[in-house]
Chains A and B, each alone.
Chain A
Amino acid sequence: MSIIQKTATEQLALLRSGEITSVELTQAYLNRIHQVEPAIGAFLRVESEAALTQAAEVDRKRETGEPLGKLAGLPVAIKDILCTKDTPTTCGSKMLENFVPPYNATVVEKLQAADAVILGRTNMDEFAMGSSTENSAYHPTQNPWDTSRIPGGSSGGAAACISADMAPLSLGTDTGGSIRQPAALCGCVGLKPTYGRVSRYGLIAFASSLDQIGPLAKTVEDVALLMEVLAGHDALDSTSVDTPVPAYSGSVHQPLESLTLGVVNQHFGAGIDAEIEAAVKQAIATYTSLGATIKNIEMPHADYGIATYYIIAPCEASSNLARYDGAHYGYRTDHAELVEDGTDEGPLVRMYRKTRSEGFGAEVQRRIMLGTYALSEGYYDAFYLKALKVRRLIRQDYDNAFGEVDMIIGPVTANAAFSKGEKTSDPMAMYLEDLYTVTANLAGVAGISLPCGFTKSGLPIGLQLQAAPFQEEKLLRAAQMFQNATDFHTRRPEL
């Protein structure tokens, strides 16, 4: 087995014992990227030189006995939505093509403090809006299991680089499923933490009440390792919660002594693919054999999740993306000083409209339009306020469920990875991809996706576990129990 096929946890042990150096490990990944990236397109930029410099610095520190951080020497890929000082951060958009942040996101500072090696920036749907990474303004990303298919999104690059062994760890963001869905479709593990568990400072905002940063990796223990570094309160994000961070990687191998899992009947209604249903039901049976108790639970408002989400998220997006005005940073139209164009608008409004129409892609514009409409006079109560009320009902469903069970078990997606172009002309079909994932964001609970099988045609299938707020430690332990009993996470695509 080559070094890049090992897990991050195994690589860390080899780095600590001196059997490999960070430069060797980083170079092995750069070689792999050189070999398979042309077929996958997981990265927007690979930062080879900076990565090797960082790796050499970690090796030097180790050699001289200086104190080292928790991820010392491990390469990490970063979704291109997280601001990194003096490093281009595009958010997958032409709008930010030339944007070079003057500050670091808190999670980037944390990675640096942990002595991680930043390998590069991964591809994504523009402003994290999408479920296939086809909305990237730069190039699509291919699913490593079948390059004619999409990797999921919006963190498609973050998931694809893990399953193609181009990075051992990566950071994604999840607003409605953008970590869990690509993790499921690419056959890796992805955690969406509780809202408030990880600082959002320096995360380019899409929907501020839903966005969370989280880890992706090949295994649950690797996700636990990275999560331990990411989590925690931050004075720069007033919605980050000041509650202690458990030692996730220390406890992940302790099986839970008692575990009650809730199954929601609607999850297996019309629309779910038979192979997905069978794999998830088999996973439930695996938990039963591990001693878990299974209970049927009601989530009466689950079917309203997508409608609620596709009001709230666009409303927040239309407000957040108002900042792209062509004046302060980002793209500005170069239409020669905005000559009279026959409209009765002044030059400033013309600049805004041209800049934004040229800088944003179609999906981003669609969501800005939906949000602006839903917040406009006469419609606010019927759409936005109504959605906030249904959001409360969805949260109450979760609160009631977690009164009865420790976690909810079910599918991540209704189907395996779909073909490129299959849903690009039908936004509603694309939105329904998030059916099983959006409610966790609306309610602010934690969710994890882990491999639980393959279709006959060889595409990965994901299992979702959801837990009450700030129960990541238990969630990871439960996921590890499944991984100990199965080998789906060990399979890799042939590339």
Chain B
Amino acid sequence: MSLTRQDVEKVALLARLRFDDAELDKITEHMVQIVQYVDKLSELNTEEVEPMAHALDIHNALAEDELRPSLLRDEVLKNAPKHDGEYFLVPAVLGE
């Protein structure tokens, strides 16, 4: 399985990251190396094996639907890079 610089650029968009040319060369090289290593798993026949997403035998953890204290708006907005006291503010996203 070969991973090209173009593939890496596409993944960077999906991951909402951006690399300059030098960084892109470097991360492509590292990713190719790591992907080659992890491809070791293809040696194993796993056709009959159930996937294991986590280690516990818990499927649904249900809780009573009761009111509990939650964070106040002011406390939550306090950490926002930009807000107007009511809403999170982001750059205009429409109109282009």
User: Which A residues form the contact surface with B (CB < 8 A)?
Assistant: 98-100, 102-103, 195-196, 209, 235, 238-239, 241, 301, 304, 306-308, 310-311, 318, 322, 325-332, 337-338, 346-349, 351-354, 356-357, 360, 365-366, 368-370, 372-373, 376, 382-383, 385-393, 395, 427-428, 431, 442-445, 469
Contacts and interface: CB of A to CB of B under 8 A. Distances in A.
Contacts of B50: 389, 392
Contacts of A338: 91
B55 A238 contact: no
A392 B52 contact: yes
Majority SS at the chain B contact face:
loop
Given A235-B63, A347-B96, A369 B17 contact: yes
A449 B41 CA distance: 28
Given A195-B55, A388-B53, A393-B46, A330 B79 contact: yes
Contacts of B44: 301, 304, 390, 393
Nearest to B81: A332
6 contacts: A307-B38, A307-B39, A369-B12, A369-B15, A390-B46, A391-B51
Contacts of A431: 34
Nearest to B71: A102
A422 B60 CA distance: 45
A238 B52 contact: no
B67 to A, nearest CB: 14
A327 to B, nearest CB: 5
Contact of B11 (A372, A391, A393): A372
A382 B71 contact: no
A386 B51 CA distance: 8
Nearest to B63: A235
Contacts of A348: 90-91, 93
A356 B13 CA distance: 11
Interface in B9-45: 11-19, 27, 30-31, 33-35, 37-42, 44
A427 B56 CA distance: 30
B52 A395 contact: yes
B42 A386 contact: yes
B17 A351 contact: no
Given A369-B31, A389-B50, A392-B50, 8 more contacts: A195-B55, A307-B41, A328-B80, A328-B88, A330-B81, A369-B8, A370-B31, A392-B51
Given A238-B58, A356-B16, A304 B40 contact: yes
A369 B27 contact: yes
A462 B71 CA distance: 43
Closest 6 CB pairs of A and B: A444-B55, A388-B51, A238-B61, A332-B81, A329-B79, A389-B46
A390 B41 contact: yes
B75 interface: yes
A395 B52 CA distance: 9
Interface residues of B, number: 52
Given A304-B40, A327-B80, A392-B52, A357 B90 contact: no
Given A304-B40, A346-B96, A372-B11, A357 B56 contact: no
A209 B55 contact: yes
B22 to A, nearest CB: 12
Contact of B56 (A100, A241, A428, A442): A241
A419 to B, nearest CB: 21
A366 B71 CA distance: 33
Contact of A196 (B34, B53, B56): B56
B15 A372 contact: yes
Contacts of A311: 38, 41
A179 to B, nearest CB: 17
Interface string B73-85: 0011011111000
A310 B38 contact: yes
Given A348-B93, A368-B15, A372-B11, A388 B52 contact: yes
A390 B53 CA distance: 11
Nearest to A384: B51
Nearest to A390: B41
Nearest to A310: B38
Nearest to A333: B81
B33 A428 contact: yes
Given A102-B75, A328-B80, A368-B17, A347 B91 contact: yes
A431 B40 CA distance: 15
A301 B41 CA distance: 10
Contacts of B13: 349, 353
Contacts of A99: 79
A239 B27 contact: no
**Among A360, A372, A385: residue with most chain B CB under 10 A:** A372
A376 B11 contact: yes
B61 to A, nearest CB: 4
A365 B54 contact: no
A390 B42 CA distance: 10
Given A318-B15, A366-B27, A389 B49 contact: yes
A196 B56 CA distance: 8
B16 A329 contact: no
Nearest to B29: A427
A198 B71 CA distance: 23
Contacts of A310: 34, 37-38
Given A102-B71, A318-B15, A427-B30, A307 B40 contact: yes
